[in-house]
Structure 1
Amino acid sequence: MIAIDHKESMIFFIDGPGRTGKTFLYHTILATLRKAGHIAIATATSGIAVTLIPGGRTTHSRFKIPLTPDPSSTCSISKQSDLAELIRRATIIIWDEAPMVNRRAVESLDRTFKDIIEVNLPFGGKVLILGGDFRQVLPVVPKGTKAEMIDACKSPL
């Protein structure tokens, strides 16, 4: 809350196995911020996880992340679109089940936010909460080599 009050750029990671209270924490943060008039965008990598978050959408659907991102991919969001304006106005972005996605998807979102917001800080200077459990399903690389699987899991941060 201090990062939000001071309008600081900050990235948090909520790590924990299932049933440790991550979703409860997201609900609390979303309710607190939305009650105060802030715009909070809630997303999750999987459709099942997103059903547990109020007002949530899958991250790929919300941010138009390419399904097979490469090292230079960006999301399909025009700077003049309503979605770009929503992103600029948002106080916080929550992304549950983030470890399940290929790191290139996270990098694509980072590049897109920097471009839309025109701030050269991680994720355009937004407060970002990534959550999940690294002990669960990691990104799948069909017929990938060991090196490709490791590359898909490397943290982009």
Structure 2
Amino acid sequence: MMEKTLVILKPCTLQRGLVGEITNRFERKGLRLAGMKMVQLTDEILNEHYAHLSAKPFFQRVKDSMMACPVIVCCFEGVDAIGAVRTLAGPTNGRKAAPGTIRGDYSMSFQENIVHASDSLEAAEVELKRFFEPEEIFEYNQATFDFLYANDEY
């Protein structure tokens, strides 16, 4: 099933000059970039985005990290995009992520772990609405589409 998912390139990614390398990994996999913009996250939006962590002792540290500089929010699309993105990203803790995954190749941290990736279809829908207006997510024919999937996969 064709899915759209949110990827946030975290401040550590921008500070380390890895934006192109990370977006390239998703594009090389065959995911279609449907939306992308740079934003400065606020306390308000992070309280909403990370509400599930609000009782944790590290909640403020997470928010401070995510506000250290702007982030780049991306919408990627593809068959089973949510799972594909999470597989490419690897486990949350970069020290435990396998080489070949984004976090395994670029992260030594649980917090400074390069990307946020939606973890379910429901989360992706909510998160994309949180960061994008409908007109900021684009539908277009990707020239390579017919070479990414068999005609009965989408």
**Given the two structures, how large is their TM-score scaled by the length of structure 2?**
0.26
**Relative contact order, higher structure (CA 8 A, sep 6+):** 2
